[in-house]
Structure 1
């Protein structure tokens, strides 16, 4: 089974995340996409980041109706601060029959060479890249790499930061969130 790993804080998960993940699950050779909820980095200011398990709960609620989309708390169990290479090694040991690939926006690919063990990651894993800005390609040193695949996914101009700020301002952001996530945020009074 080929699994795409979609890393993020998902604070909160929104319809843009779901559209991108579902696009990869339906229009690439990936069998599933796992939303890897990244834990709070203990060395960074927490600011408006919700608790790890509250964000995981939102991802669970957002993906429960999609068989090809799954939440993952794998990084919660790893020592912090964590690096992607450690997560990949851990997943390979836990699921030896699965092939793991990374999903990232092209803005992240631009800085990928600075990641810990970036070359090792590329030797052992494929990277699936989605566009961030319409009609503007970000040139990177990995553009022609055989393991880097550019997928023509929809450009989603929704951000979790925008949603958090809008909620704080009392705006209605319900259309930007999966219904189950909106209900949870509203019930828990998050971001107000």
Structure 2
């Protein structure tokens, strides 16, 4: 089974995340996409990041009607701070018959060379890349690397920061969130302060 890992804080998960994840599941050779909720780094100021379990619950709610999309809390149980290379090694050990790949925007591909042991990642895992506006210059060697799979997904410029700021300002962002996620956010009064 080929599984794409889509990492994020998902604070909150929004329509853009779902569109990208579903596009990868439907229009690539991936069998499933796991939305991996990144835990709160205990060494960083909390700021607007909701507790891990609330963000995981929102991802669960958002994906419950998609058979190929799965929420994942795998990083919650790994030592912090955690690195993608460690998560991949842990998953490969736990699911030896699965083939894990990364899903990222072009903007993240541009900074891949700064990741811990990125050479190990790119040597052992495919990376599915979706387009972003203003993603900057990508290393030509990375653009043509055999492990990099460019997927012509919709270009979406929607951010969780924009949604949080809009909620704080009293704006109606209901169309930007899956319905049950909107209800969860509204019920819990998230991002209002």
Aligned 8 A contact 1:106 1:138 in 2:
no
User: Which residue does 1:176 correspond to in 2?
Assistant: 176
Q: How many Å apart are 1:137 and its aligned residue? A: 6.9
Structure 1, unpaired ranges of 5+: none
Q: Calculate the TM-score normalised by the size of structure 1.
A: 0.97
CA-to-aligned-CA distance 1:13-61 (integer Å, 9 cap, x gap): 0000000000000000000000000000111111000000000000000
Aligned 8 A contact 2:58 2:181 in 1:
yes
User: Which residue does 2:79 correspond to in 1?
Assistant: 79
Q: How many Å apart are 1:97 and its aligned residue? A: 0.6
How many residues get paired? Answer: 191
User: Which residue does 2:166 correspond to in 1?
Assistant: 166
Output aligned runs, 1:56-135, within 5 Å.
56-133=56-133
SS in structure 2 at match of 1:142: helix
User: Which residue does 2:3 correspond to in 1?
Assistant: 3
User: Which residue does 1:18 correspond to in 2?
Assistant: 18
User: Which residue does 2:138 correspond to in 1?
Assistant: 139
Inter-partner Cα distance in structure 1 for 2:23 and 2:106: 16
Aligned 8 A contact 1:85 1:116 in 2:
yes
Inter-partner Cα distance in structure 2 for 1:138 and 1:180: 38
Inter-partner Cα distance in structure 2 for 1:137 and 1:27: 25
Aligned 8 A contact 2:110 2:136 in 1:
no
Inter-partner Cα distance in structure 1 for 2:121 and 2:158: 29
Inter-partner Cα distance in structure 2 for 1:43 and 1:191: 22
Aligned 8 A contact 2:101 2:125 in 1:
yes
Q: CA RMSD in A?
A: 1.1
Q: Calculate the TM-score normalised by the size of structure 2.
A: 0.97
SS in structure 2 at match of 1:42: coil
Structure 2, unpaired ranges of 5+: none
Aligned 8 A contact 2:109 2:138 in 1:
no
